[in-house]
Amino acid sequence: MATIVRTKEGRWRAQVRRKGKYASQTFRIKSLASEWVIETERLIDIGCDPVPNKFGNPRTIADLIELHIADLLEVGKPIRRSKRAVLNALKRDLGTTRISNLDRAALIKYGKKRAKQGAGPVTLSVDLSYIHTILTHAAAIHGIPVNTENLRLARIALSRLDLIGKSNERNRRPTDDELKALLDYFDNKTNMIIPMGRVIRFAIATAMRLEEIFKIAWSDVDLKTRVVTIRDRKDPRHKDGNDQKVPLLNLTGFDAWHLLLQQKILTGGKGRVFPHNHKSAGSAFQRAKNVLEIEDLHFHDLRHEATSRLFEAGLTIERVALVTGHKDWKMLRRYTHLKPEDLHKFQTKPQPTEEEHFLWLIEN
């Protein structure tokens, strides 16, 4: 049973009672109220729950995005900065599109438009992943009928057009000369507040990210076991509460524990180990790189360098993962850089000399 009545404020209030379910909504125009009644009754008839009143009646992609954000806020999971930026971009480019009109053709058109705007294959792939998240959330949580098959077909089409794809693995490592130049540059800048030379050495000693280094508090350092706890360490799925303990080793050419003791003298063991802004440190690294004319080197490449050095020191994948925090060991394989000629050092038997091998050939 459905009713539509006019309120004292001149708006139209629609109510639906059907198969033991109830929903209500208020509209400015009566025709919108009638449309809502028809759609709500249809949802109930096919076994879906009507959309809760507090979220209104989602009709566009922007509505679904707001619905998704509101649901996460309700359970204490606010949207982080990077995700919010993507969702805002989706609202800008697809927000006015009606849910029923988001078909394969519309998604392909959107992908081509984003590519012309300069979006790379990885960026566009992320966009489509978020669209999938928004659609499946609406269907799973609120029973809103959506069509994810169109999204799957659009992804295939855009992939065939080389508009979406995976990122290329970055294998940039600083050369010995580049690293020496950077350390000399910072060690000689006695007027710098941030001890960048020590920061670089600590990054290579621990494989920590820039932001991780600068948020370590002395309360996170276990002086007895020489272990540091990184709070909420970056993780593709579960960053909040992802605290990880990292050993302070001396395997990469720099002693993490010794570097930490140097910082303790400077800070008195209070507050943060490196009490500076990580963004300022990143800017300082960028300026030094420009002055030294070092091309295509990021601070994050020092994490790559550290990881590679841990393998070169003889650690196994599972032990390296305890330092780097990788939960998927497959991600670490690209850091090994094992060359065919490196396999000789794993041989247990001594190899014949060139003369011995030549004599063996004659005899056989």
pTM: 0.61
CATH class of domain segment(s) 176-343:
mainly alpha
φ/ψ of 16, rounded to 5, equals: -130, 125
One-letter identity of residue 73: L
- Kindly report, residue by residue over 331-362, the tens digit of the pLDDT: 666 666 555 555 455 455 555 665 665 566 66
> What is the Cα–Cα distance from 158 to 122, expressed in whole angstroms?
12
pLDDT in tens, 2-35: 899 998 888 888 888 888 888 887 777 888 788 8
How far does CA 112 lie from the centroid of its chain?
Answer: 24
pLDDT computed for residue 176 by the predictor:
93
What DSSP character marks residue 49?
P
Are the C-beta atoms of residues 99 and 67 closer than 8 Å to each other?
A: no
In the block, tokens 């060139």 appear at 354
Q: Report in angstroms the alpha-carbon separations of 4 from 19, 29, 30, 122.
A: 18, 11, 8, 48
Interior angle at CA 250, CA 245 and CA 256, nearest 5: 60
- Tell me, what's the pLDDT at 363? 63
Helix residue spans in 8-118 (DSSP H): 30-45, 61-74, 81-94, 104-116
Contacts of 318 (CB under 8 A, 6+ apart): 329
Identity (one letter) of the amino acid at 309?
A: R
Q: From first to last of its 364 residues, what are the pLDDT tens digits of the chain?
A: 789 999 888 888 888 888 888 888 777 788 878 887 888 888 788 887 665 544 556 788 988 998 888 888 877 787 877 788 899 999 999 999 999 899 999 999 999 999 998 888 888 999 999 999 999 998 888 778 888 999 999 999 999 999 987 766 677 889 999 999 999 999 998 889 999 999 999 999 999 999 999 999 999 999 889 999 999 887 655 555 678 899 999 999 999 999 999 999 999 999 999 999 999 999 999 999 999 999 999 999 999 999 989 988 888 888 888 898 877 666 666 666 555 555 455 455 555 665 665 566 666 5
154 by Cβ neighbours in 10 Å (0-12 / 13-18 / 19+) ranks as buried
Taking the domains of the chain in order of start, what are their residue ranges?
1-53, 58-168, 176-343
